[in-house]
Chains A and B, each alone.
Chain A
Amino acid sequence: MSDTLTRSEAGGGTPPASGPWPIELDDVTVRYPNGVVALKNVSLSIAAGEMVAVVGLSGSGKSTMIRTINGLVQPTGGRVTVGPHAVSELRGRALREARGDIGMIFQAFNLADRASVFHNALVGRFAHMPTWRTMLGLASAEDREMVMRSLDSVGMLEKVWHRAGALSGGQKQRVAIARALSQEPAVMLADEPVASLDPPTAHAVMADLEDINASRGLTVLVNLHLMDLARQYTTRMIGLRAGEVVFDGPAATATDADFEAIYGRPVQARDRLGE
């Protein structure tokens, strides 16, 4: 089955079940139990199919913001809506189903290093497969097919039976992207996806995300702290500083002065990745 897959067949990708979705944050506040206010009354409206960068220094609240979108962090005030799901009001099964439609990749890749690439990517099928199937280790033919297609679309199919821990950083992030694509998501979230990678690999992964937005038509929201990556790969930029939106506009034309306002300090060499 997997051997008969061709690049062109998988490269186009299966469209998500219900097309790209808009994301709405309405007056969202997150106050952690230790009293830290990570987000302050953030309101945003992201259209279906947009490619958005969220830029800010570490501690600016961008990790918290992206996690409110799939309910990994519950807002203490306000409302988050992703397509048909009122995420901030969901619990239990309904929340898991909503998460199943929202893909996410992470700075540290978050793979189970001792599990195979296949099983790591199969994690993306969790919301689509009954728990008993997972417990018995029986993936359906459809789940297998989906995982193989996703791995093929990021060029990792030949590593499918390798252990995830044996891969390089760039390969791990590709497997993590395949894991998210296996969900057939309508929205893709990326939390500092290239911060642990060397510059050429970082550009390759950003290009993958750009492709997911362009050819699959997914709404993509990517957290970055580097200004050149935001300018090059995204169309809209949201600047966060101390939990508040301080910039919202086209990424390509954002000036150094805009970045200085977001960072709260002069632009430095380390704010750019370079080639």
Chain B
Amino acid sequence: MTTTAIPARPRTWPRTLGIVGALAVLTALTATPALGGVEIDLGAIAKNWTNGADRIAQMMTPDLSVLPRTWQPLLETLQMAVVGAAISAALAIPLSMWAARPTNPHTPTRMAVRFVLNMVRAVPDLVYATILVAMVGVGALPGVITLVLFDVGIVVKLVSEAIDSADSAYMEAGRAAGGTQAQINRLTALPQTWPAYVSQVLYSLELNVRISAILGLVGAGGIGRLIDEMRGFYRYDALSTIVLEILIVVVLIELASNVLRKRLR
């Protein structure tokens, strides 16, 4: 028999039950058309699935004869992805610093940068691509600009949040030594932020390959142009070859970035 007085364990189940219940109610509400929820007709799957089934069957047998035609657009996609990531990476360094509180204590400018970036992020990438194709013409250029806008939006958001949540006691030392905010950011905040920054830039490179597959649909260059063409001719067997190619490229980029990230620790 132990005589140690164990403090009463706080009862947490009523709270847990409340949270789970609230989530269940919310889910039910969003799926109720009468209340303005989304309309989900499960019956439609049963009715129409045969329409898609033969396409899926066709995709299961990739037609490799399309491969020679894919090299050039695939290379263009990779070029767009790399150039887009590189330009956005350069822009993201000062923008991330301006968007984070420790590196920019001046609230009005910080809020202004954040507001503009929220606007940039709010516009879907296909909308950028469509407008830019109309402005600068069909080709890789509107695609690259679209990728830069998209990448800047996410890299700056994620990196500035990393700066916000990181310990920034070293800044007090820079301030005590009479440094300007720019000096402190350049000499100390930059190396402190490097791992988060490189990590997000690599992630944006990976996203770029996926996105530029879509951008070709509106004429913004890359392998998407070929995807659109194959889809138009109902060549689902050739389509699956291209999808596999994109998958391989994305996996290769991910493997490479994992190696780089480990070396940065």
Interface set of A (CB-CB < 8 Å, partner B): 70, 72, 95-100, 102-104, 106, 108, 110-115, 119-120, 122-127, 129, 131, 134-135, 137, 176, 179-180, 183, 189
- Tell me whether A120 and B172 are in contact (CB under 8 A): no
Chain B residues contacting A119 (CB-CB under 8 Å) are: 187-188, 191
Instruction: For A106, list chain B residues within 8 Å (CB).
Output: 169, 172-173
Q: How far is the CB of A161 from chain B (nearest CB, A)?
A: 13
B188 and A112 within 8 A (CB): yes
Shortest C-beta distance, B191 to chain A (Å), equals: 4
B186 CB contacts on chain A under 8 angstroms: 134-135, 137
With contact pairs A123-B187, A126-B179 given, residues A104 and B194 touching in the complex (Cβ less than 8 Å):
no
A100 touches B191 (CB 8 A): no
Distance, CA A131 to CA B195, complexed state (A): 25
Instruction: Give chain B interface residues in 167-196, CB to chain A under 8 Å.
Output: 169-180, 182-184, 186-189, 191-192, 194-195
The answer to whether B188 and A123 have CB atoms under 8 Å apart is: yes
Considering the complex of A and B, which 5 residue pairs feature the smallest CB-CB distances, nearest first? A127-B178, A126-B179, A100-B178, A99-B178, A112-B188
Q: A111-B170, A112-B170 are in contact. Are A104 and B187 (CB under 8 A)?
A: no
Complex CA distance for A104 and B179, rounded to whole angstroms? 13
B79 to chain A, nearest CB (A): 30
Kindly state the separation between the CA atoms of A113 and B177 in the bound complex, as whole angstroms: 17
Cα(A179)–Cα(B178), bound, Å: 12
Residues in A neighbouring B178, C-beta threshold 8 A: 95-100, 126-127, 183
Docked complex Cα distance between A125 and B173 (Å): 12
Provide the residues of chain B in CB contact with A127, threshold 8 Å. 177-179
* B170–A183 touching, CB < 8 Å: no
CB closest residue in chain B, given A127:
B178
In the complex, are the beta carbons of B173 and A179 less than 8 A apart?
yes
Complex CA distance for A180 and B173, rounded to whole angstroms: 9
Dominant secondary structure at the B interface: helix
Shortest C-beta distance, B175 to chain A (Å), equals 6
Q: B171 — which chain A residues lie within 8 A by C-beta?
A: 110
Among B170, B172, B191, B195, which residue has the most Cβ atoms of chain A within 10 A? B170
Q: Mark B147-183, 1 if CB is under 8 A from A, else 0.
A: 0000000000000000000000111111111111011
Contact at A131–B180, with CB atoms within 8 Å? yes
> Which B residues between 131 and 155 are near A, CB-CB below 8 angstroms?
none
Q: Are B176 and A99 in contact (CB under 8 A)?
A: yes
The residues of B that contact A99 with a CB separation of less than 8 Å are: 175-178
Report how far A29 CA is from B199 CA in the complex, Å.
46
Chain A residues whose CB sits within 8 angstroms of the CB of B195 once the complex forms:
114
Instruction: Name the B residues within 8 Å of A97 (CB-CB).
Output: 178
Complex Cα spacing A126 to B194, Å: 21
**Choice from A96, A120, A137 contacting B188 with Cβ under 8 Å:** A120
Min CB distance B143 to A, Å, is 33
14 residue pairs of the A-B complex, CB under 8 angstroms, read A72-B176, A99-B178, A100-B177, A106-B169, A110-B172, A112-B191, A112-B192, A115-B191, A123-B174, A123-B187, A126-B180, A135-B183, A179-B173, A180-B177
Q: Are B173 and A176 in contact (CB under 8 A)?
A: yes
Interface pair B192/A115, CB less than 8 Å apart: yes
By beta carbon, the residue of chain B nearest A115 is: B191
| B:62-102 near A, CB below 8 Å | none
By the criterion CB–CB under 8 Å, are B170 and A110 in contact?
Answer: yes
Contact B192 A72 (CB under 8 A): no
A115: which of B169, B179, B183, B187 is its contact (CB, 8 Å)? B187
* Chain B residues numbered 195-230 whose CB sits less than 8 Å from any CB in chain A: 195
A42 → B minimal CB distance (Å):
20
Would you call A123 and B172 a contact (CB within 8 A)?
Answer: no
Other than the given A99-B178, A110-B169, 14 more pairs (CB < 8 A) read A72-B172, A96-B180, A99-B176, A113-B170, A113-B192, A114-B191, A123-B177, A125-B177, A131-B180, A131-B182, A134-B179, A135-B186, A179-B177, A180-B177
Bound form: Cα–Cα A110–B169 in Å: 5
Q: Within the assembled complex, what's the spacing in Å between the Cα atoms of A120 and B192? A: 12
Contact partners of A112 in chain B: CB under 8 A: 170, 187-189, 191-192
A111 to chain B: which residues have CB within 8 Å? 170, 173
A34 and B191 CA atoms in complex are apart in Å by: 34
A97 to B177, CA, bound (A): 9
Are B183 and A131 within 8 A (Cβ)? yes
Shortest CB distance A138–B (Å): 11
- Are A96 and B192 in contact (CB-based, < 8 A)? no
Complex formed: what's the CA distance from A99 to B169 in Å?
Answer: 17
- B175 closest partner in A (C-beta): A72
Would you call A126 and B177 a contact (CB within 8 A)?
yes
Q: Give the CA-CA distance A183 to B176 in the complex, in Å.
A: 11
* Chain B residue with Cβ nearest A70: B176
Given A119-B188, A122-B187, A135-B186: A110 and B180 within 8 A (CB)?
no
Report the Cα distance A6→B175, complex, angstroms: 31
